Structure 1
């Protein structure tokens, strides 16, 4: 797994061009220079990667944002989190597990809070205990998974980020049902910290 970062990978690539342009623009066109500086600062802030303290039990949210999807799929429950532009976009492992496959699926770039986003570009991570989907939105164009097949993850580990977007889902193990859910659509959550589901037996996997 990756070590701790204060900024997600890719921050320099997006932030440097406006920051480098800010100085010459400040000389020839001060308003444009200020705009370039503000843009570079926004990118750095957007790629922030704060530390999180995962709880010992339960399934934690994969992303910061608001719960936008709660539904059943073939006997399993999917919980999706929509990330607004102001949210941290570093994704976290909802549970301990071992990565079986990481699959990139090309697709559209519809707004991530709409039903049409099901056909968006995505990266699906299948683990032995659960599944995670990283879904691009209308503005997001780059999904960066940090995982590959065979990797072991611990609840709360960083598992990827989406540049300028958008939605992350966890597909719970079949043993979970709606009675185990602790969130509903519209609830605010924090990646790696907010427990979205907990079994009565409080298993630690």
Structure 2
């Protein structure tokens, strides 16, 4: 095995969105270290943390129709019925919502909860409250997507937090994505909300640790009274 192969299998890949931040941190580290050695070591620690923050490890997504997987690494902070954001146009009736909070040490690459077509993307400017708070769903900056397939229609919302100042979305309306595909990223602490059909029974608990693209939130194919979509818009 070559040295390059060894390094690629040892180091976690870094998402390209992180490269500018890594370059800035490394450059400042060199400049500050030139004037005072202790600043170099402080800067080096910060640079390594930035690399860690923008890591993008491979994930193995379970393959089964109806599974809803976590869109984010983090901890389940809220579960229960909630009215989706108005800009998603999912109606005014409460849907089952599961919220995953990401702290600054979680991987922040977001992954699609289900396979389907992205039929709507809606961004809304807002505040930067603590993303763990329930009212963050209404007040904070956010970007929402609707993903549909032949059987189900769900919403997933990227919500900025106290530290987050930039929501990035990689996909466009009309694109078809698979479950576990990368669709976005939020910089430095945030939350992901998943809105599922009324009657959905989540298979997670508050405080549970989630792995994006791997942890199962719900199984829509194995539940009664779950609203079904008959076509993709």
| TM-score between the two structures when normalised by the length of structure 1 | 0.90
| Higher relative contact order, structure no. (Cα contacts within 8 Å, ≥ 6 residues apart) | 1
**Contact 2:69 2:216 (C-alpha < 8 Å) held by counterparts:** yes
- SS at 2:135 equivalent: helix
Alignment map for 1:123-162 (pairs within 5 Å) = 123-128=143-148, 129-162=153-186
* CA radius of gyration, larger in: 2
Q: Could you list the per-position Cα deviations for residues 115-139 of structure 1 after superposition, in whole angstroms to 9, with x for gaps in the alignment?
A: 2312100001112221110000010
Q: 1:200 to 1:123 in 2, by over 3 A?
A: closer
Query: Which ranges of structure 1 fall in alignment gaps of 5 or more residues?
Result: none
Q: Is residue 12 of structure 1 aligned with residue 24 of structure 2?
A: no
| TM-score between the two structures when normalised by the length of structure 2 | 0.79
The equivalent of 1:43 in structure 2 is 50
Alignment length (residue pairs): 196
The equivalent of 2:141 in structure 1 is 121
The equivalent of 1:197 in structure 2 is 218
Q: Distance in 2 between matches of 1:83 and 1:63?
A: 7
Q: Is residue 97 of structure 1 aligned with residue 116 of structure 2?
A: yes
- SS at 1:7 equivalent: coil
**Contact 2:128 2:140 (C-alpha < 8 Å) held by counterparts:** yes
Q: Could you list the per-position Cα deviations for residues 105-163 of structure 1 after superposition, in whole angstroms to 9, with x for gaps in the alignment?
A: 00000010112312100001112221110000010000001111001011110010101
**Contact 1:97 1:130 (C-alpha < 8 Å) held by counterparts:** no
RMSD: 1.8
Query: Which ranges of structure 2 fall in alignment gaps of 5 or more residues?
Result: 1-11, 83-92, 224-233
